[in-house]
C-alpha cells in the first residue's frame, strides 16, 4: 500500500501548516481542507514558498458532507491527517455545543466520507488533555483517560469512535497522536502560531509580553510541589511534532489496526523556566506576576515517549532554548501574525 496523496484537514493552522512543510519536503502530494475560521490562507503561500512545492487547497468545513464528497471525488486521496477542530480549552466550557459540533460531528462526517471512498488510513491529532489528573508521570499511553473540559472530552469521544471503527472493520489503519504542549515556529521565522486575539497558550503570551503588546505574564500558582513552585509541562517544538506525523505515516500499513502514541520531549519545564529561557532569546527581562492557581491545573505533566521512539523511530530533537528562539524570531518578523 503506497501512500502518495494525503488530505490534511486544518492544514492552514499552526500544527497543520508545519506538518504540510514536512510532508511536501518528503515528497508527498497534499490536499489541504480548512474553513479558515481560525487560521489564515497566507500560511499556505508560506508553505509553498518554504518548500518550493505546490499544494491543492479547498476552503471547506469538514461538517459539509457534500463539499467533502466532491473533494474526495476530485482528489483520490490515500490517507487523511485530521487536525481540524476548535482547540481553546477555557472557551470550550462556555461554548460546549460548538465544540461537540465542530470536533465530534465534523470528525464523524469526515469518517463517513472516507468510508464511502474506501480511504481507510487516518492519523488523528489528539491531546494530552485526555489524560486525567491522576495519570502517573511520565505519562504512558495506557494511563487512565478522563477530562475536565468539553475540549478534552471531544478528543476522548473521537478516540472512542476511532477505536470502535477499527474494531468493526480491519481495513482501517488508524494512528492517534496525543500531543503535549506544541510551541516554537518554523526556523525561517515565516510560519508560526497565529492566535487571533489574546493568546491562550503560555509561549505566545510570553512573546507578546516581550514584544510590549501585553503588559505582563500571569503565572498561575507558585506553590506547586515543583523545583520552583510553578507548573511543569512538556513543551515540544512544532517542527518535531510535524516530523512525528511524517513518521506515523510509515505506521499506516494494511491490517495495522489502531495505534496510540504520545508526542512530547519526555522532559518537563516550569513556567518560570520558559520565561527565563525566553528572556535569553529576547535579550531583556520579561515582566510577570504570580496569580492564583487555576482550578483543575496539575503540578507536573510530561510524556513517556518510549513507545514512539521504539515503534515510530522518532524522538524530539529541539530543546527549550531553540523553541524560544524560533518562537521569538516568528514574533519579531511577524508581530501581527499573518494579518499584516
Using one digit for the tens of pLDDT, what is the confidence trace for 239-287?
999 999 999 999 999 999 999 999 999 999 999 999 999 999 999 999 9
Q: Is 229 left (phi over 0), alpha (psi -120 to 50) or beta?
A: left
Residue 39 lies in a domain: yes
Using DSSP's 3-state secondary structure scheme, residue 171 falls into coil
Q: What is the pLDDT along the chain (340 residues), one digit of tens a residue?
A: 799 999 999 999 999 999 999 999 999 999 999 999 999 999 999 999 999 999 999 999 999 999 999 999 999 999 999 999 999 998 999 999 999 999 999 999 999 999 999 999 999 999 999 998 889 999 999 999 999 899 999 999 999 999 999 999 999 999 999 999 999 999 999 999 987 777 888 999 999 999 999 999 999 999 999 999 999 999 999 999 999 999 999 999 999 999 999 999 999 999 999 999 999 999 999 999 999 998 888 999 999 999 999 999 999 999 999 999 999 999 999 999 998 6
Residue 152 lies in a domain: yes
Q: How far is CA 66 from CA 5, 55, 63, 69, 109, in A?
A: 21, 22, 9, 5, 10
Cell reading at 322: 531553540
Q: Are 69 and 112 in contact (CB under 8 A)?
A: no
Residue 311 lies in a domain: no
Residue 313 lies in a domain: no
CA 284 to chain centre: 29
Helices and strands in the chain: count of H runs, count of E runs: 12, 14
> Parallel, antiparallel, or unpaired: how do β-strands 56-59 and 121-127 relate?
unpaired
Q: How far is CA 272 from CA 161, 202, 203, 279, 316, in A?
A: 38, 11, 11, 10, 22
Q: How far apart are the first and last CA of the chain?
A: 43
Residue 216 lies in a domain: no
Which residue range forms the structural domain that includes residue 111? 5-184+235-264
Tens-digit pLDDT profile for residues 11-41? 999 999 999 999 999 999 999 999 999 999 9
Cell reading at 284: 531583556
Q: Are 124 and 80 in contact (CB under 8 A)?
A: no
Quick one: which of 47, 38, 42 has its CA closest to 18?
47
C-alpha–C-alpha distance, residues 130 and 27, integer Å: 33
C-alpha–C-alpha distance, residues 10 and 40, integer Å: 11
Residue by residue, DSSP assigns 98-156 as HHIIIIIIHHHHHHHHHHHTT--EEEEEEEGGGB-TT--SSB-TTS-B--SSHHHHHHH
Q: What are phi and psi of 113, to 5 degrees?
A: -70, -40
For a pLDDT cut of 90, what percent of the chain falls above it? Answer: 93
Cell reading at 209: 509580553
Total number of domains constituting the chain: 1
In this structure, what CATH number is given to the domain that contains residue 61? 3.40.50.720
For the chain, the C-alpha Rg in angstroms (whole number) is 19
pTM attached to this predicted model? 0.97
Residue 93 lies in a domain: yes
Residue 217 lies in a domain: no
Cell reading at 159: 478516540
Residue 271 lies in a domain: no
- Which residues are part of the catalytic machinery? 151
Amino acid at each position: 500500500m503506497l501512500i502518495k496523496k494525503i488530505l490534511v484537514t486544518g492544514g492552514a493552522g499552526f500544527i497543520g501548516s508545519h506538518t504540510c512543510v514536512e510532508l511536501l519536503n518528503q515528497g508527498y502530494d497534499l490536499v489541504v481542507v480548512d474553513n479558515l475560521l481560525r487560521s489564515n490562507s497566507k500560511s499556505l503561500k508560506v508553505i509553498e514558498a518554504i518548500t518550493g512545492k505546490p499544494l491543492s487547497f479547498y476552503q471547506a468545513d469538514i461538517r459539509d458532507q457534500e463539499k467533502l464528497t466532491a473533494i474526495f471525488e476530485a482528489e483520490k486521496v490515500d490517507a487523511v491527517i485530521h487536525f481540524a477542530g476548535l482547540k481553546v480549552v477555557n472557551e470550550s466550557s462556555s461554548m460546549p455545543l460548538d465544540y461537540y459540533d465542530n470536533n465530534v460531528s465534523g470528525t464523524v462526517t469526515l469518517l463517513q466520507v472516507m468510508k464511502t471512498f474506501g480511504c481507510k488510513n487516518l492519523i488523528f491529532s489528539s491531546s494530552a488533555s485526555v489524560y486525567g489528573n491522576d495519570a502517573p508521570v511520565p505519562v504512558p499511553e495506557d494511563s487512565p483517560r478522563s477530562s475536565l473540559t468539553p475540549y478534552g472530552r471531544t478528543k476522548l469521544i473521537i478516540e472512542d469512535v476511532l477505536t470502535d471503527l477499527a474494531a468493526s472493520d480491519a481495513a482501517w489503519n488508524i494512528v492517534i497522536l496525543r500531543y503535549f504542549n506544541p510551541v516554537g515556529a518554523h526556523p525561517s521565522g515565516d510560519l508560526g502560531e497565529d492566535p487571533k486575539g489574546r493568546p491562550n497558550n503560555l509561549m505566545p503570551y510570553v512573546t507578546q509580553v516581550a514584544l510590549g503588546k501585553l503588559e505582563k505574564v500571569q503565572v498561575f500558582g507558585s506553590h506547586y510541589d515543583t523545583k520552583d513552585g510553578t507548573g511543569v509541562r512538556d513543551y515540544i517544538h512544532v517542527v518535531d511534532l510535524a516530523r512525528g506525523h511524517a513518521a506515523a505515516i510509515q505506521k499506516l500499513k494494511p491490517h495495522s489496526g489502531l495505534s496510540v502514541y504520545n508526542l512530547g520531549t519526555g522532559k518537563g519545564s516550569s513556567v518560570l523556566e520558559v520565561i527565563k529561557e525566553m528572556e535569553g532569546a529576547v535579550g531583556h527581562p520579561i515582566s510577570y506576576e504570580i496569580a492564583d492557581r487555576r482550578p483543575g491545573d496539575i503540578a507536573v505533566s510530561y510524556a513517556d515517549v518510549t513507545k514512539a521512539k521504539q515503534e515510530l523511530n522518532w524522538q524530539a530533537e529541539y530543546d527549550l532554548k531553540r523553541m524560544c528562539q524560533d518562537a521569538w524570531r516568528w514574533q519579531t518578523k511577524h508581530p501581527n501574525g499573518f494579518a499584516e
